[in-house]
A and B are shown apart, each in its own frame.
Chain A
Amino acid sequence: QVQLQQWGAGLLKPSETLSLTCAVYGGSFNGYYWSWIRQPPGKGLEWIGEINDSGSTNYNPSLKSRVTMSVDTSKNQFSLKLNSVTAADTAVYYCAREDCSDGTCHDFDYWGQGTLVTVSS
């Protein structure tokens, strides 16, 4: 059974850098794309970006200038950094595995537990 476990700082000040890591247990890490998705309190879901085991990335254009994703295949982990955060970045952040069962990755079949990140001075 695939499990994603995520962690990172939950309280940031404006202009600081958000940093989260997600570890994958119980399944293959290679051959998939891995995504970060966020959800502001009481609102909907926003895709932040994806990375695969080779380090190839795709980011949401709305966040691209502030986002960096990385991968550590030796630990089956991937990470998110979002710099220059503001109150608008306050959200629950999820890591997720993209379902690539038919050769194209097109939805999210496993999710982390979520991390609430609050940006406040």
Chain B
Amino acid sequence: EIVLTQSPGTLSLSPGERATLSCRASQSVSSNYLAWYQQKAGQAPRLLIYSASSRASGIPGRFSGSGSGTDFTLTISRLEPEDFAVYYCQQYGGSPLYTFGQGTKLEIK
């Protein structure tokens, strides 16, 4: 099983600041099939980034993804109030086919 470890567990920042979230895989992610999701309380996750660096439809340009192999990063360039949520990374291609990281909570400082 490919284990995804996200850091930090909680990130406390202010609106307008830059957020950098990390996701590290226990082995190389196939074809960089690494995605990022945003989840707000009581809602389903929303796809932000797929294939490590491609923005999903309708996602603002302040969200960007980077990385390859085992180390991936989600960057939010300038935090808006609506960005405070929990973020998950997810990989495809291992066994099981899909696994998720444990999440990073982005909270208002």
A: residues with CB less than 8 A from B are: 35, 37, 44-47, 50, 58, 60-62, 94, 96, 99, 102, 104-109, 111-114
With CB as the reference atom, state the residue of chain A lying closest to B48: A107
Q: In chain B between 3 and 39, which residues have their CB closer than 8 angstroms to a CB of chain A?
A: 31, 33, 35, 37
16 other contacts beyond A104-B92, A108-B37, A114-B44, with CB at 8 A cut-off?
Answer: A35-B98, A45-B45, A45-B90, A47-B98, A50-B97, A60-B97, A104-B33, A106-B35, A106-B93, A107-B50, A107-B92, A108-B35, A109-B47, A109-B56, A111-B44, A111-B46
**Docked complex: B46-69 residues within 8 A CB-CB of A:** 46-47, 50-51, 56-57
Q: List 17 A-B contacts (CB under 8 A).
A: A44-B101, A45-B100, A47-B97, A47-B99, A50-B97, A96-B44, A99-B50, A102-B51, A104-B31, A107-B33, A107-B47, A107-B92, A108-B35, A108-B90, A109-B57, A112-B44, A114-B44
- Choose from B35, B57, B99, B101 the contact partner of A107 (Cβ within 8 Å): B35
Cβ B103 vs Cβ A61 within 8 A = no
Interface check B88, CB cutoff 8 A: yes
Total B residues in contact with A, Cβ cutoff 8 Å: 25
Interface mask (B80-109 → A, CB under 8 Å = 1, otherwise 0): 000000001010110111111111000000
Instruction: Write the chain B residue with the least CB distance to A99.
Output: B50
**Cα distance A45–B44 in the bound complex, in angstroms:** 11
For A114, the chain B residues whose CB sits under 8 A away are 44
Judge whether A44 and B33 touch: CB under 8 Å.
no
A57 → B minimal CB distance (Å): 11
Contact partner, B97, options A58, A62, A94, A99, Cβ 8 Å: A58
B96 contacts A47, CB within 8 Å?
Answer: yes
